[in-house]
């Protein structure tokens, strides 16, 4: 029998993999293929942190496939030419894949499907790394949702199919040439998150299952209370596992078999992820253009020196600096702090949200085009169901509320760790003798605030008000 090709993409797992299960059901030998296609995404090719995760995720998937007698074939190049080459090498007449929903992926896959079917090659595509297809949920008027709450209510009414087990894998096709994962040089020289945070990240399907189990056992019961506290292990840290498809949202959804408010809150966070992909599907310009067209004429500030200080956690605002340093040293940032740091960049510094989104894209291990774009537009006030333009996070109050004992700031901004809690989130307000006792010299050992928070807020309000934005915007 001729083999069939299973093209792995954002579904680097064996369980609840619809394309893999369907290919196995054919009874034909399998060719398991992954293509590193940096051409199709253009400027949205994976950033450095994502590539680090991808390296370790592919290594784990390859080991899982080898354990059952197969080989994960790795090829690099434009997907269309690579697939054509593999078809010629194997004689395969069927290809199975799970759908991706980024605009460039949709365009690529539609063209591929038409071209392959024109060669009498069957293409079977399936629900990708979402709970439901993004075209399935509509308002009563038949339009895409632009507000989260009604979207969540509509999603909650759907029956989410049970996840599939690991299929019984048939025999594999004779091996064909595969590139070496190490030759792709996906792992940057620095930072090395695997060495620095060995207990923090474990890419791969097994690591995803362990992370989910630990979250359910240790953190879910207090999720509503602790999810906003960056100094506590209160979140799931499943975002990268979900992005790379090492675990499916259906697996997570059905693991939460409780019916109390705690599980509902976490399910709604899964729904936010779904909502972001819904927005990207219906608004493919989401990463580049504001959904609110009035923001297209906003006069953003361009200051590369100040941007660099924000990027490297040297703004003089402790909670912002802690977040940006956590991002650089771990490849991840707590969600509450992401909002604070993003608000500071966009509102207090008046730097374009797209500049911040680009930095997150390169430095987050969980960088996801839909989530990243929708979240930055939300904080800037120009997206769907966005925070109003006049909502400007006060980073001092945010730090005092969500990091009251300073555990988070002291971990990532150790040079001010000697300050008492009262002044930890606003060192510039500490008396000279307090700074001396903590061995802090503002402007030398720790910077003065990059922006005066009161003046920055007033400047932002004036700038946004010039757009004639109503308070209902």
Q: Catalytic residue numbers?
A: 269, 272, 300, 335, 353, 376
Say if residues 134 and 154 touch (Cβ distance below 8 Å).
Answer: no
Please count the helices (runs of H) and the strands (runs of E) in the chain: 21, 5
Report how far residue 390's alpha carbon sits from residue 392's, in angstroms, rounded to the nearest whole number.
Answer: 6
Among residues 268, 262, 234, 230, which one has the least CA distance to residue 249? 268
Report how far residue 349's alpha carbon sits from residue 340's, in angstroms, rounded to the nearest whole number.
Answer: 12
* Residue 14 tokens, joined: 């064996």
Report how far residue 322's alpha carbon sits from residue 428's, in angstroms, rounded to the nearest whole number.
Answer: 16
Determine the 3-state secondary structure of 73 from DSSP.
strand
Say if residues 310 and 301 touch (Cβ distance below 8 Å).
Answer: no
Determine the 3-state secondary structure of 369 from DSSP.
helix
Report how far residue 373's alpha carbon sits from residue 378's, in angstroms, rounded to the nearest whole number.
Answer: 9
Report how far residue 147's alpha carbon sits from residue 386's, in angstroms, rounded to the nearest whole number.
Answer: 9
Determine the 3-state secondary structure of 77 from DSSP.
coil
What secondary structure does DSSP assign to 102-123, as a single string? SHHHHHHHHHHHHHHHHTT-EE
| Sheet of strand 30-36: strand arrangement | 72-76, 30-36, 4-8, 94-98, 122-126
Say if residues 68 and 123 touch (Cβ distance below 8 Å).
Answer: no
Q: Which residues are within 8 A (CB) of 67 and not within 5 positions of it... i.e. 6 or more apart? A: none
Q: Is 113 left (phi over 0), alpha (psi -120 to 50) or beta?
A: alpha
Helix (H) or strand (E) run with residue 165 in it: none
Report how far residue 213's alpha carbon sits from residue 227's, in angstroms, rounded to the nearest whole number.
Answer: 17
What secondary structure does DSSP assign to 318-336, as a single string? HHHHHHHHHHHHHS---HH
Q: Residue 126: what are its φ and ψ, rounded to 5°? A: -140, 165
């Amino acid at each position: 029998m001729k083999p069939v090709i299973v093209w792995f993409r954002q579904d680097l797992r064996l369980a609840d993999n619809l394309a893999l299960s369907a290919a196995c059901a054919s009874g034909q030998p399998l060719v398991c293929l992954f293509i590193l296609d940096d051409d199709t995404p253009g400027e949205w090719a994976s950033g450095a942190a994502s590539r680090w995760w991808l390296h370790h995720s592919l290594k784990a998937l390859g080991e899982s496939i080898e354990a059952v007698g197969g080989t994960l074939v790795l090829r690099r190049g434009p997907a269309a030419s690579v697939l054509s080459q593999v078809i010629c090498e194997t004689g395969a007449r069927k290809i199975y894949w799970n759908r991706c929903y980024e605009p460039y992926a949709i365009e690529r896959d539609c063209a591929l499907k038409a071209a392959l079917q024109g060669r009498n090659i069957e293409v079977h595509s399936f629900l990708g790394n979402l709970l439901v297809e993004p075209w399935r949920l509509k308002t009563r008027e038949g339009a895409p949702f632009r507000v989260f709450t009604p979207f969540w209510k509509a999603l909650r009414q759907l029956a989410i199919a049970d996840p599939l087990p690991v299929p019984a894998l048939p025999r594999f096709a004779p091996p064909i040439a595969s590139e070496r994962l190490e030759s792709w040089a996906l792992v940057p020289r620095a930072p090395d998150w695997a060495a620095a945070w060995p207990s923090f990240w474990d890419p791969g399907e097994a690591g995803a299952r362990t992370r989910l189990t630990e979250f359910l056992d240790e953190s879910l019961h207090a999720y509503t209370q602790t999810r906003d506290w960056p100094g506590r292990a209160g979140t799931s840290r499943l975002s990268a596992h979900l992005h790379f498809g090492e675990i499916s949202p259906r697996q997570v959804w059905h693991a939460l078999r409780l019916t109390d408010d705690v599980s509902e809150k976490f399910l709604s966070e899964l729904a936010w992820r779904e909502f972001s992909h819904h927005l990207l599907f219906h608004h493919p310009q989401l990463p580049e253009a504001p959904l609110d067209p009035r923001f297209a004429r906003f006069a953003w500030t361009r200051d590369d020196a100040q941007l660099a200080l924000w990027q490297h956690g040297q703004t003089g605002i402790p909670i912002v600096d802690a977040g940006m340093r956590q991002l650089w040293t771990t490849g991840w940032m707590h969600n509450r702090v992401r909002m604070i740091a993003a608000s500071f960049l966009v509102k207090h510094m008046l730097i374009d949200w797209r500049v911040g989104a680009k930095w997150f894209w390169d430095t987050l291990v969980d960088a996801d085009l839909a989530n990243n774009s929708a979240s930055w537009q939300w904080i800037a006030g120009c997206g769907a169901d966005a925070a109003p333009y006049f909502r400007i996070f006060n980073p001092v109050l945010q730090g005092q509320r969500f990091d009251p004992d300073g555990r988070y700031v002291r971990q990532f901004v150790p040079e001010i760790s000697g300050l008492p809690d009262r002044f930890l989130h606003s060192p510039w307000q500490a008396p000279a003798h307090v700074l001396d006792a903590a061995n802090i010299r503002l402007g030398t050992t720790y910077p003065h605030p990059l922006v005066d928070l009161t003046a920055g807020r007033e400047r932002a309000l004036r700038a946004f008000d010039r757009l004639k934005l109503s308070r209902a915007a």
